[in-house]
Structure 1
Amino acid sequence: MPLPHDEAFKKLLETFFQEFIELFFPELDSMLDYSETRFLMQELLVDIVGEEARELDLLLEIRYKGLDGYILIHLEPQSYRDSRFHERMFIYFSRLFERYRKEHKLIIPIAIFTSDEIREEQDTLEMVIPEHQILRFQFLKVELRKQNWRRFIDSDNAVAAALLAKMGYTTREARDVRREFLRMFMKLKTRLDQGRLALVMSVADLYFQPDRVQDEEIIKELMIQYPEEGEAIMELMPAWKRWGYEEGIAEGIEQGIEKGQAEIIRKLLLHGFTPEEVSKAVELPVDEIKKLV
């Protein structure tokens, strides 16, 4: 069953449009004036290729510095293989050009390919005769699986964090990817509101396969490696309840204590956390925490 990612992914692009452009199209980013951005009503266009009417995923109007005027940007996520997708993008472009050519001097189509397969997606439609090119249409594209995940882990970009699990990595690197996502998410907590944080998490969770035991190990590692961020890391723990870990965290910590992992709690206490704060984070009685002081 395909992942129900379409709506969440669309919301991510709408909420973090600037971050998306900054991340994948830095040259275009330098030409856009984000202070004047307006998302347009979804356009219902007849899709001749599929013989059906379809709504464009995202269409926005923004000021373009090079033209000193407004342009249109069309964003179209694509999650499955479609050999005629490039034709559909041209049809959408031509319909937009037909409708908006008097008001907008430029239309930029962008496709975001989210398939798990690594392949070269066709982005060009050409018509030629000998010694003459009738048409050459080429849209911008992002092929997420071709992006090396390590390029993004030092970024504070919300889109990079949300899509990290869709980047290119090996099975052996999966745990490292999960760890870096949690670290990136921890940094985002200092500058994003709860609504936007929840959006980043909801998109990321579509692509990750969280493992409670593994996540618990990772969060302990982060506590030791980044003691100055202890409070932010602790705040991740209650969120685990929303990830379906209601009973697992307390049990896991208790098992850790039995196995000698009490050292983790001791280090938290040494770094200035009160027994009450640690108790709340790891869901153990304060009396049990105080025994480790």
Structure 2
Amino acid sequence: MLNSAGRGEDRSKTGKTQHSGESSQTPHDEAFKKLLQTFFAEFLELFLPELACQLDHGHTRFLQQELLVDIVGQEARQLDLLLETRIREGAAFVLVHLEPQSYRDDTFHERMFIYFSRLFERHRNEYRLMIPIAVFTMDDEREERDTLVMKLPEHDILRFQFLQVKLRRNNWRDFINSDNPVAAALLGKMRYTKKEARELRTAYLRMLLRLRRELDDARLALIMSIADLYYDPSQEEDEAIVRELREMGEEEEAREIMELMPAWKRWGYEEGIEQGIEQGIEQGIEQGIEQGVEQGRLMEKEKVARNLISLGLDTPTIVKATGLDSQQIEAMRQKTK
């Protein structure tokens, strides 16, 4: 991915952001890329609905990575999120360049123009339209420059403007009734206050209950793993939510939420204790329950890891999402081949 929050940065006296030549992907970057690859149409429907209506998603396919030399940063970068689709009114193919940006960069609008220019140079005979889209995932809500203008007093030479989606500018309450999986995955990246955190978490869990009826296990696991990267609740917080639902008489909803949570979030609440009791008959109740809880956690972690492997996520992202070590993930990956 072109822009990684993991790159080193400093600011010179001019205020311009400087980046080291070494670039690395973070689990957040890789997970966000996979989200867009899996739910591209849903992403556009949620944040760019007018554009979504103009595209024929039945002809959408992701293209191979393109290596472009970044003149601004004087380093080569890969365009990971490049896809081909069609417009509904016409047979021309469209090239869409999605660029996640996780930190502030005063030259970002210039780099977007450079990427666009390189793509135009390479593909102008193949595609009638090229659409650059920037997705800002940082917490900073300040305005970002989205245009590059060059002109004389009496003549416009160039005006380039890319589409942008700034997650933090969206209020989380506007999305809690949505059945769009992208809304659930990114709810924790939207604007909310500390006082609203518990309410946001409850709304997110209810969204998952609805999505559970529409998505397979692998896609649901992807949504949950990404959401946990952006909002990581404590044990006490989730336990309090379930307790409050039961106190309000929402026993069925509380039960479904407990079933939905991965075992390392439920701390072996059901599956592990049940196995522990069985082992406790032979080994002693207290020790057996403890071992059963641990076994339940591990089994659920491995189940989710297998789902994420099937979706193509890389090892560091799965390690971050499940807590398993990289050797365990690689061993599971080999078994799936």
If the length of structure 2 is used for normalisation, what is the TM-score? 0.70
Alignment partner of 1:110 is 2:139: no
Check the 8 A contact 1:222/1:233 in 2, yes or no.
no
Alignment partner of 1:246 is 2:267: yes
Alignment partner of 1:36 is 2:56: no
Determine which of 101, 110, 128 is the counterpart of 1:78: 101
Unmatched runs of 5 consecutive residues or more in structure 1: 254-282, 284-293
Check the 8 A contact 1:57/1:77 in 2, yes or no.
no
Instruction: Please give the alpha-carbon distance, in whole angstroms, between the structure 1 residues aligned to 2:242 and 2:220.
Output: 18
In the alignment, which residue of structure 2 is the partner of 1:150? Answer: 173
Check the 8 A contact 1:47/1:88 in 2, yes or no.
yes
Instruction: Please give the alpha-carbon distance, in whole angstroms, between the structure 2 residues aligned to 1:185 and 1:222.
Output: 16
1:262-273 pair list within 5 angstroms: none
Determine which of 215, 226, 232 is the counterpart of 2:256: 232
**Secondary structure at the residue paired with 1:121?**
coil
How far did 1:225 drift?
Answer: 5.8
Check the 8 A contact 1:76/1:111 in 2, yes or no.
yes
Tell me: CA distance 1:246–1:106, structure 2 relative to 1, closer, same or farther (3 Å): same
How far did 1:133 drift?
Answer: 1.1
Tell me: CA distance 1:225–1:26, structure 2 relative to 1, closer, same or farther (3 Å): farther
Determine which of 3, 19, 26 is the counterpart of 2:49: 26
1:203 partner amino acid: I
Tell me: CA distance 1:174–1:205, structure 2 relative to 1, closer, same or farther (3 Å): same
Check the 8 A contact 1:113/1:142 in 2, yes or no.
yes
Determine which of 208, 214, 223 is the counterpart of 1:200: 223
- Deviations along 1:237-266, one digit per CA (max 9) or x if unpaired, are 4x142x4x536x47xx9xxxxxxxxxxxxx
Identity %: 62
Instruction: Please give the alpha-carbon distance, in whole angstroms, between the structure 2 residues aligned to 1:236 and 1:20.
Output: 24
Tell me: CA distance 1:75–1:222, structure 2 relative to 1, closer, same or farther (3 Å): farther
**Secondary structure at the residue paired with 1:89?**
helix
**Corresponding residue pairs, total:** 249
Of the structure 1 ranges 162-171 and 65-74, higher mean CA displacement relative to structure 2 is found in 65-74
**Secondary structure at the residue paired with 1:54?**
strand
2:267 partner amino acid: E
How far did 1:190 drift?
Answer: 1.0
Instruction: Please give the alpha-carbon distance, in whole angstroms, between the structure 2 residues aligned to 1:105 and 1:34.
Output: 17
Tell me: CA distance 1:108–1:225, structure 2 relative to 1, closer, same or farther (3 Å): farther
**Secondary structure at the residue paired with 1:75?**
strand
Check the 8 A contact 2:64/2:80 in 1, yes or no.
no
How far did 1:69 drift?
Answer: 1.8
**Secondary structure at the residue paired with 2:160?**
strand
**Secondary structure at the residue paired with 1:191?**
coil
Tell me: CA distance 1:231–1:215, structure 2 relative to 1, closer, same or farther (3 Å): closer
Check the 8 A contact 1:111/1:140 in 2, yes or no.
yes
Alignment partner of 1:167 is 2:190: yes
Q: Which runs of 4+ in 1 moved over 2 A?
A: 1-4, 219-234
In the alignment, which residue of structure 1 is the partner of 2:142? Answer: 119
Instruction: Please give the alpha-carbon distance, in whole angstroms, between the structure 2 residues aligned to 1:201 and 1:37.
Output: 25
Instruction: Please give the alpha-carbon distance, in whole angstroms, between the structure 1 residues aligned to 2:232 and 2:255.
Output: 25
- Deviations along 1:91-139, one digit per CA (max 9) or x if unpaired, are 1101111111111000001000011111111111111110211111000
How far did 1:215 drift?
Answer: 0.6
Check the 8 A contact 2:44/2:52 in 1, yes or no.
yes
Instruction: Please give the alpha-carbon distance, in whole angstroms, between the structure 1 residues aligned to 2:255 and 2:57.
Output: 34
If the length of structure 1 is used for normalisation, what is the TM-score? 0.80
